């Protein structure tokens, strides 16, 4: 039976899926509390940098289309297996497993905050994960149905809440205050790292691109539109927050979006924001489980992860990856690790790897343009190398501004250095013992694309066995 294809609305909803998370709503409120409407400048700059990276990823997808893992294959052809393993495992698998677990924990905590059920928050987390794991096991069509519903419900709800606040239509009392607290552009630059967190995730479209109708048009268009839609939605929310909540209260609140909902519409507003939070966590975790299962399968196809991740069920879902990622999130929530005070800090640590993976993607575009200038591209980022270079510089700048406190920033960099060292050791051992290829030697594009065929690994392993046997024969003869 032919697989159903996803249209542009599903592409946009997938792009939106991870961008608007419960933790992003918190970051939006805290950024507004610090700078007021001045935070909009930080948001616009971060969004523009992310659009540059999204366009770069769309060009990579045009050069190497219909790949299961996408980002992993691009990096393997651009910079070799070592960089691929470090950036993909660190920037996505580790990062998203932690972030998704935190989102589930916030969902459980939000339920108990409003309704005081007496049931441990982790129970709600585990039930939610069980539902989303099951949905992803039912294949891409069920994934899209859930994603479309929650993502568009999320967008519509936040736009309405933002517009009510912007035009003073709430039932609560408005607050008289100076809404812009940015004294200069340097204040806006200082919160670029926080603003960046509001726009990451549009590339989650890439691994499902081969399931998209007219992917050459809908993939880049869907990623850019998802970012612009999020920007517009968040701008009206920032303005609305400034009209109904005191900025100092927003900056100090662990749940600024709930605070805003209550100030805007009273208890009904709190319930509405709880609903928004539920939409956000479902959208985020649903996207994360699907994306990571495709990425694990893609890395398995290029022999950078065990081949078991290539197994599919009758619905066409990569069930091993779905079950593994879901199980990791369940363990984290069941043990209470996702509610620890230090985990939000660790998310910032993980996000640095995400930024690094963006830099690598931008560099891959420049590498492919140099190595394959005449390769057919149905989509190409305009203005030569300008946009990829802007994306590289912008992402590096945001890494440096990951936190406004120098001591905290240095601690983040220290922990990232330790994680990088551990991943580097793992990557070196995998390249040496399993892959048996030079760590920094890029694999030709045509070979990486050939790896998509299930027969590639069989032929490659057979060639390795024959090569080892011939070496043994030569060694015996020499003796």
pLDDT in tens, 209-265: 777 787 777 888 888 888 998 899 899 999 999 999 999 998 887 678 888 998 999
> Hey, which CATH number is domain 8-468, 3.40.50.300, 3.30.70.20, 3.10.310.10, 1.20.1740.10?
1.20.1740.10
pLDDT at 141: 59
The more confident residue out of 84 and 118 is 84
If pLDDT is split at 50, 70 and 90, which confidence band does 3 have? low
* The model scores a pTM over 0.75: yes
Percentage of residues in the chain having pLDDT higher than 90? 22
| pLDDT attached to residue 164 | 94
Domain ranges of the chain: 8-468
- The model's pLDDT over 80-115, given as tens digits with 9 standing for 90+, comes to 999 988 888 877 777 777 777 777 777 777 777 677
Q: Does the structure show a pLDDT above 90 at 40? A: yes
pLDDT at 17: 61
More confident residue, 224 or 473: 224
Instruction: Give the pLDDT confidence score for residue 420 in this predicted structure.
Output: 87
Looking at every residue in the chain, the average pLDDT score rounds to 82
Please classify residue 446 by burial: count the beta carbons closer than 10 Å to its beta carbon, then call 0-12 exposed, 13-18 middle and 19+ buried.
exposed
pLDDT value for 101: 78
Closest by CA to 15, choosing from 210, 232, 207, is 207
State yes or no: pLDDT of 167 exceeds 90: yes
pLDDT, one tens digit per residue, over 375-427 is 888 788 889 899 999 999 999 988 888 877 788 889 989 988 888 898 899 89
Instruction: Report residue 302 as tokens.
Output: 């290029």
Choice between 472 and 375, residue whose per-residue pLDDT is larger: 375
Residue 292 is predicted with a pLDDT of: 85
pLDDT at 1: 41
Is the pLDDT at 60 greater than 60, yes or no?
yes
Q: How much of the chain, in percent, has pLDDT values that exceed 70?
A: 85
pLDDT at 476: 55
């Amino acid at each position: 039976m032919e697989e159903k294809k996803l249209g542009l609305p599903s592409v946009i909803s997938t792009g939106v899926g991870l961008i608007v998370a419960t933790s992003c709503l918190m970051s939006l409120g805290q950024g507004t509390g610090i700078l007021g409407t001045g935070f909009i400048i930080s948001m616009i700059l971060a969004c523009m940098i992310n659009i540059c990276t999204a366009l770069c990823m769309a060009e990579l997808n045009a050069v190497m289309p219909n790949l299961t893992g996408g980002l992993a294959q691009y990096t393997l052809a651009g910079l070799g297996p070592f960089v691929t393993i470090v950036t993909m495992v660190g920037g996505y698998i580790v990062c998203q497993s932690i972030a998704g677990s935190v989102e589930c924990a916030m969902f459980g905590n939000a339920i108990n905050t409003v309704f005081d059920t007496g049931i441990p928050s982790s129970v709600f987390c585990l039930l939610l994960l069980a539902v989303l794991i099951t949905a992803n096991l039912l294949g891409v069509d069920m994934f899209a149905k859930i994603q479309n519903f929650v993502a568009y419900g999320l967008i519509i709800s936040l736009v309405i809440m933002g517009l009510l606040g912007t035009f003073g239509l709430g039932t609560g009392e408005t607050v008289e205050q100076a809404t812009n607290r940015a004294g200069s552009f340097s204040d806006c630059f200082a919160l670029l790292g926080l603003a960046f967190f509001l726009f990451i995730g549009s590339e989650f479209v890439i691994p499902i691109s081969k399931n998209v109708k007219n992917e050459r048009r809908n993939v880049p268009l869907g990623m850019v539109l998802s970012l612009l839609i999020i920007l517009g939605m968040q701008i009206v929310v920032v303005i609305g927050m400034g009209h109904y909540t005191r900025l100092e209260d927003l900056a100090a609140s662990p749940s600024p979006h709930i605070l805003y909902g209550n100030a805007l519409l009273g208890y009904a507003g709190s319930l509405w924001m709880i609903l928004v939070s539920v939409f956000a966590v479902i959208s985020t975790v649903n996207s994360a489980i699907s994306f990571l299962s495709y990425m694990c399968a893609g890395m398995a196809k290029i022999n950078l992860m065990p081949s078991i991740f290539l197994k599919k069920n009758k619905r066409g879902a990569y069930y091993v990856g779905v079950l593994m990622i879901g199980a990791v999130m369940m363990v984290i929530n069941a043990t209470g690790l996702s509610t620890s005070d230090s985990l939000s800090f660790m998310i910032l640590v993980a996000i640095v790897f995400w930024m690094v993976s963006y830099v690598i993607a931008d560099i891959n575009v420049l590498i492919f343009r140099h190595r394959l200038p005449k390769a057919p591209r149905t989509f190409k980022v305009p203005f030569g190398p300008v946009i990829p270079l802007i994306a590289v510089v912008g992402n590096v700048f945001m890494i440096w501004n990951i936190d406004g406190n120098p001591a905290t920033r240095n601690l983040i960099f220290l922990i990232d250095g330790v994680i990088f060292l551990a991943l580097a050791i793992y990557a070196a051992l995998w390249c040496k013992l399993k892959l048996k290829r030079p760590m920094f030697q890029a694999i030709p594009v045509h070979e990486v694309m050939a790896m998509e065929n299930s027969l590639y690994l069989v032929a490659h392993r057979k060639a390795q066995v024959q090569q080892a046997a011939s070496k043994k024969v030569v060694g015996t003869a020499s003796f």
